[in-house]
């Protein structure tokens, strides 16, 4: 499978209170199409920084970031916006839907910023809403939806531009366990359909769904284990699907 | 490249504004007041200017009035010369007419005080004015009834004994009966009334310029006046009696080109100074007064406009304040939009359009308010009139839009330049997560084929 995400010796340093914080300290990694990675690590390990970099919300201090073969670490602000709207899908912990917009309007936002005509964007948003089972609630506002429904809207929004990579930041952090499973099932389906998923979490059973778990500590990759390694390590071989 | 279509952005703007109807309304109100004030103030200024011009215009804006004035009489000169001779002459009239370019008409006027009688009624305030046909024309003086003195009235050999009465004279001498065809007596002579003049405005203005009130005059052809009353006027004071010989009391010149009035007045003054080194004349130019009135009206308008502009500025500052608060309040939304691919320009446009919607809506209402000022201004400010010029409406509206852009730009710029990561971290009201029964995950293939909904799989 082709490599869609490649970080080459990436550093991200912040200046905080006169001290340099090494949020990422020489990270190199490759994600291929269809990869499903969970990123774990204690707070301050650089998870969020990594996700922001991968999400083109931030630029590395040093190193290269190749997304779909193009070096995005040198792009300017507008070009990064373009990359975000065309190649990336975001799913956040707190859903991050815009409250004054309806479900369908929230879903079509990335398309609108891509420059898709309003009519096409609307049609695509309708398809997406139908796919996440919310075609009955197109004109509802986020506040009129349950948490699980809101996250489904967010997932539809993340998929509406057919992105290369889906970036999820604790997507189930605000949900109860039943809804959590439903949302994670959706991630499984996305992965099966060939989407590259990078999911930050601190919950073991969420990370457990991913095929690889990437452990970060102090801005460095400590180890990458496959789900088999993990099952073996935790003595759960042959466990849940 | 701005992909976001304007109509759509406009729609979104209205949507966001409707989230806070009261806030939006109050913000728009500041623009309503500002734009309304600008238009109304300009209209009031315009009204004042119009009134001032109208009043002086009745004097005739393209006329120059030259009057004889009495110079100081010394005792010696009075003794050596029993008749005081001064003022304008027919020679002056001819010279003005022949040598000053652009003077299309020049009308001689001679007058003196004498009582006018009709039966037992006496009119003492008036003057007997001898002049020529064009007098009324030049003075922009209208007839109420009958006719004006005509060219043949004054022809030597058939001196028609006719007079035309000023409105005040007519009202005093003929309070009830029809004056036309009736006779009046001046001195020992009897004259037939052939016409009555209309009331002419600008009495106050004439007084300001030290010109006589036309309504108190009795008009007759100049040749008739000279033939019947001679050239010498006897002025009786307390214990004194002077005899004056004034050939012409006034010359009224009309200049064809309005632009040439002031220079020609200068030329006339120059000419007369040569003929009358003793300075027994004065030149009055109503246009000068009109210009002065216009000037002061313009200053007045400018002052009022400044007041309106300040209120518009205050409105603009209010808008900026509100928009800054809105931007802060919607930091999270900005972060989300940026994360989902909005460029800075998209964010700038979004907030700018919101401000524009506010200010243009406010501006429209303000324009309506201002356009109605001719109705409400006289009610609030007694005696003041307002005239709305079409050419003030469009600029005022554009200014309101300009205020929107000017004062919306900074908040929009602030919004666009937020760090998306920081903005995403910004707290907003927590949305309670809920539970929903959900059978299964409906999903689709991402290969670009027709998406298939698979519920209950």
CA nearest to B357, candidates B3, B9, B14, B8: B14
Whether the CA torsion B42, B43, B48, B50 is positive or negative: it is: positive
> Confidence class of residue B433 from pLDDT cuts 50, 70 and 90?
very low
Predicted local confidence at residue B387, as pLDDT: 87
Residue ranges of A 156-215 with Cβ closer than 8 A to chain B: 157, 159, 161-162, 174-176, 178-179, 182, 185-186, 188-190, 193-195
Q: Is the pLDDT of residue B454 over 70?
A: no
Tell me how far CA of residue A207 lies from CA of A5, A112, A148, A210, B447, in angstroms.
20, 33, 19, 6, 26
Q: Is the pLDDT of residue B437 over 70?
A: no
Predicted local confidence at residue B154, as pLDDT: 66
CB B363 within 8 A of CB B397: yes
Q: Is the pLDDT of residue A69 over 80?
A: yes
Domain ranges, ordered by start, for chain A: 33-59+75-234
Predicted local confidence at residue B157, as pLDDT: 60
Chain segment B314-367, per-residue pLDDT in tens? 888 888 998 999 899 889 999 999 999 999 998 998 899 889 888 888 999 999
Interface A-B: count of C-beta contacts within 8 A: 145
Domain ranges, ordered by start, for chain B: 6-55+292-425, 63-256
The pLDDT > 70 percentage for chain B reads 87
Q: In sequence order, what E strands does B166-249 have?
A: 183-186, 189-197, 217-221, 232-236, 241-245
Q: How far apart are CA B323 and CA B342, in angstroms?
A: 19
> Confidence class of residue B300 from pLDDT cuts 50, 70 and 90?
confident
Q: Is B95 exposed, middle or buried (0-12, 13-18, 19+ CB in 10 A)?
A: middle
Which of B8, B435, B441 is facing A118, going by the closest CB pair?
A: B8
Q: Is the pLDDT of residue B435 over 80?
A: no
Predicted local confidence at residue B429, as pLDDT: 42
B427 → chain A, closest CA residue: A94
Predicted local confidence at residue A54, as pLDDT: 93
Note the Cα A120 to chain centre separation in Å: 25
- B333–chain A nearest CA distance, Å: 6
- A189–chain B nearest CA distance, Å: 7
Helix/strand/coil for A182 = helix
Q: How far apart are CA B99 and CA A20, in angstroms?
A: 95
CA nearest to B220, candidates B144, B165, B139, B158: B165
* Mean pLDDT, residues A2-10: 91
Helix (H) or strand (E) holding A113: helix A109-114
Q: Between B276 and B451, name the one with better pLDDT.
A: B276
Predicted local confidence at residue B201, as pLDDT: 67
Please list every residue in chain B whose beta carbon sits closer than 8 Å to the beta carbon of residue A130: 442, 451, 453
Residues in a beta bridge with A11: A25, A62
Class level of CATH domain A33-59+75-234: alpha beta
Predicted local confidence at residue A51, as pLDDT: 92
Q: How far apart are CA B404 and CA B316, in angstroms?
A: 7
* Joined tokens for residue B305: 């406009």
* Mean pLDDT, residues B257-266: 86
Estimate the crossing angle of helix B344-371 against helix B6-19, to 10 degrees: 70
Q: Between A107 and B55, name the one with better pLDDT.
A: A107
The single residue listed with the structure tokens 């912040």 is A14
Q: Is the pLDDT of residue B217 over 50?
A: yes
CB A134 within 8 A of CB A150: no
């Amino acid at each position: 499978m082709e490599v869609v995400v490649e970080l080459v010796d990436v550093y991200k340093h912040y200046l905080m209170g006169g001290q340099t914080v090494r949020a990422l300290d020489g990270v190199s990694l490759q994600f291929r199409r269809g990869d499903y990675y969970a990123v774990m690590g204690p707070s301050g390990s650089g998870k969020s920084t990594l996700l922001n970099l991968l999400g083109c919300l931030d630029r590395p201090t040093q190193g290269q970031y190749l997304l779909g073969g193009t070096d995005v670490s040198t792009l300017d602000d507008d070009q990064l916006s373009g990359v975000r709207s065309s190649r990336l899908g975001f799913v956040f912990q707190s859903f991050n839907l815009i409250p004054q917009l309806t479900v369908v309007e929230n879903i079509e936002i990335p398309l609108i910023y891509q420059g898709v005509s309003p009519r096409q964007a609307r049609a695509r948003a309708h398809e997406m809403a139908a796919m996440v089972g919310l075609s009955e609630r197109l004109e509802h506002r986020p506040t009129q939806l349950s948490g699980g429904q809101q996250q489904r809207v967010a997932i539809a929004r993340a998929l509406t531009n057919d992105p290369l990579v889906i970036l999820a930041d604790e997507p189930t952090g605000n949900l109860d366990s039943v809804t959590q499973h439903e949302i994670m099932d959706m991630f499984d389906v996305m992965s099966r359909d060939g989407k590259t998923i990078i999911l930050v979490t601190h919950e073991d059973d969420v990370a457990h769904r991913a095929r690889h778990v990437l452990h970060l500590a102090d801005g460095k990759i400590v180890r990458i284990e496959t789900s088999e390694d993990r099952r073996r390590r935790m003595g759960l071989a042959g466990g849940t699907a | 490249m701005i992909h976001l279509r304007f109509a759509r952005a406009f729609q979104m703007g209205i949507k966001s504004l409707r989230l806070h109807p009261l806030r939006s309304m109050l913000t728009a109100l500041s623009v309503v007041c500002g734009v309304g004030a600008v238009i109304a103030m300009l209209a009031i200024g315009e009204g004042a200017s119009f009134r001032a011009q109208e009043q002086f215009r009745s004097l005739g804006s393209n006329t120059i009035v030259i009057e004889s004035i009495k110079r100081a009489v010394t005792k010696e000169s009075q003794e050596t010369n029993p008749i005081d001779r001064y003022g304008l002459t027919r020679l002056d009239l001819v010279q003005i007419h022949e040598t000053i370019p652009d003077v299309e008409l020049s009308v001689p006027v001679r007058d003196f005080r004498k009582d006018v009688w009709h039966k037992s009624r006496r009119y003492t305030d008036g003057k007997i004015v001898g002049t020529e046909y064009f007098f009324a024309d030049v003075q922009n003086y209208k007839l109420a009834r009958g006719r004006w003195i005509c060219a043949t009235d004054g022809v030597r050999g058939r001196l028609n004994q006719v007079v035309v009465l000023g409105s005040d004279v007519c009202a005093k001498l003929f309070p009830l009966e029809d004056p036309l065809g009736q006779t009046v007596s001046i001195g020992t002579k009897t004259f037939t009334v052939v016409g009555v003049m209309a009331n002419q405005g600008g009495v106050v203005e004439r007084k300001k310029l030290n010109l006589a009130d036309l309504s108190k005059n009795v008009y007759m052809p100049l040749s008739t006046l000279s033939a019947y009353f001679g050239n010498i006027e006897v002025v009786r004071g307390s214990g004194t009696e002077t005899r004056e010989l004034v050939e012409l009391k006034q010359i009224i010149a009309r200049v064809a080109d309005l632009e040439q009035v002031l220079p020609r007045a200068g030329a006339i003054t120059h000419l007369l100074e040569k003929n009358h080194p003793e300075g027994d004349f004065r030149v009055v130019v109503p246009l000068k007064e009109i210009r002065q009135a216009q000037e002061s009206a313009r200053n007045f308008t400018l002052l009022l406009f400044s007041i309106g502009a300040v209120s518009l500025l205050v409105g603009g500052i209010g808008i900026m304040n509100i928009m800054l608060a809105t931007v802060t309040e919607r930091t999270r939304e900005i972060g989300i939009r940026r994360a989902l691919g909005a460029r800075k320009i998209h964010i700038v446009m979004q907030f700018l359009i919101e401000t524009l919607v506010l200010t243009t809506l406010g501006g429209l209402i303000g324009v309506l308010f201002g356009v109605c000022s001719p109705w409400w201004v006289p009610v609030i400010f007694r005696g003041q009139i307002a005239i709305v010029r079409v050419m003030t409406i469009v600029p005022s509206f554009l200014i309101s839009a300009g205020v929107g852009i000017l004062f919306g730009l900074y908040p929009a710029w602030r919004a666009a330049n937020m760090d998306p990561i920081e903005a995403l971290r910004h707290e907003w009201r927590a949305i309670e997560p809920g539970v929903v029964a959900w059978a299964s995950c409906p999903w689709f293939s991402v290969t670009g084929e027709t998406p298939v909904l698979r519920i209950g799989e």
